[in-house]
Structure 1
């Protein structure tokens, strides 16, 4: 169990490190040379996002730590594994890729591709949330409620907290979409799109860690058993 948790922690650290490098790749200090009076809110906004991601990461680490301690009790009983989780994960991967495509479109000044990427990312994200609700309905239909077992409680906890973060991201996504449609040039919406993409990559990284906790029975970490639902 300890080896598995260490592996997942290292995996998440690598992904977050990659996101940080992508965020600073623009090099705003060089942009200040080309533009005499850049808005100081740009680096502050990026810093604010990373502070929020740090707080969110701490919350997930606390939940995972509580889960790791509870897992050691003899009464731990995994719940069946919903098949739909695979499709939901694929949709979130697609949403992250679509957001990254929007960033590339904004950097090359392609307004149409920018808007198409944002719409695709939002639709796939909404599909992910809808799929998670269907999973909850399937579990309830099979009499696996939040109070049924510790495994069920952690499943609902992890998916609910992550889902709330996804909902919060959709609020920022809507603002980015509105700006992309109103802005005369794609460059005007670039910062918001870049921040949305960073947040979506983070949501994906967190979900992959949670998904591993849910299905990685071979690591001794599984909330769900190999039996499908």
Structure 2
């Protein structure tokens, strides 16, 4: 439960920092200036799409926090045997991180009007996402071939369920990324395209952060962290 709360605090802190950069908490009635001082280069208010993404990510954070809370509560049962972590998950983590870097690069190059470079980065990020999902399937097959089946152990069930739910969110992100690639395949990238790429990158960074927490959970590092927190509190 402590890890779930800490995870929620971290995610909400990141979300608050991100929203503050979008001027969501600005107070225009307190800002100094006149109505006729507005210029075209002034930064506009936060787009509704960013607000919608922020709300959606908050819901996703709550969902995975509930999963983690149930995970830790179920661990206390006597019929719990830890599921070994396949080595390919290390590679999958690196691939997911690479996809995050590629989407960040795509957004930066799109803002600099380097459209061809941005398109290449978008396609590479899509390939990284597909590779991550393929790696997850290989990890599931490795566990099932070793006898760690879904219904044999609660730890197995949680691993398949949580990693599968994360994979579904990655699949949704790939669908959105594919739409962006199709819409930006020709012509210059305008502000709308840059916004779409930024939203995809934000979503990908968030899912990377979620996976890093899940990776620590599956590898057992989170248990050590919880024990450390308990020792500090007591």
Query: Shorter-chain TM-score category?
Result: 0.7 to 0.9
Residue in structure 2 matched with residue 97 of structure 1 by the alignment: 101
Deviations 1:37-60 (A, max 9, x none): x8x9x7111111111111111111
* Aligned partner (choices 196, 203, 215) of residue 207 of structure 2: 203
TM-score normalised to structure 2 length: 0.81
Higher relative contact order structure (alpha carbons within 8 Å, sequence separation ≥ 6) = 1
Inter-partner Cα distance in structure 1 for 2:225 and 2:86 = 16
- C-alpha displacement of 1:132: 0.1
* Aligned twin of 1:73: 77
Higher Rg: 2
Q: Which moved more, 1:90-99 or 1:112-121?
A: 112-121
TM-score normalised to structure 1 length? 0.82
1:34 maps to which residue?
A: 40
Number of corresponding residues: 212
Which residue among 174, 177, 180 is the counterpart of 1:176?
180
1:15–1:205 CA contact under 8 A, matched in 2: no
* Structure 1 residue ranges without an equivalent (≥5): 223-229
Structure 1 contact 95–122 (Cα < 8 Å) conserved: yes
Taking only aligned residues, the RMSD between alpha carbons, in angstroms, comes to 2.7
Give the unaligned 5+ runs of structure 2.
29-37, 227-234
- Are 1:87 and 2:84 counterparts? no
Label 1:210 to 1:11 Cα distance change in 2 as closer, same or farther (>3 A): same
Q: Which of 185, 192, 212 pairs up with 2:216?
A: 212
The one of 98, 106, 113 equivalent to 2:110 is 106
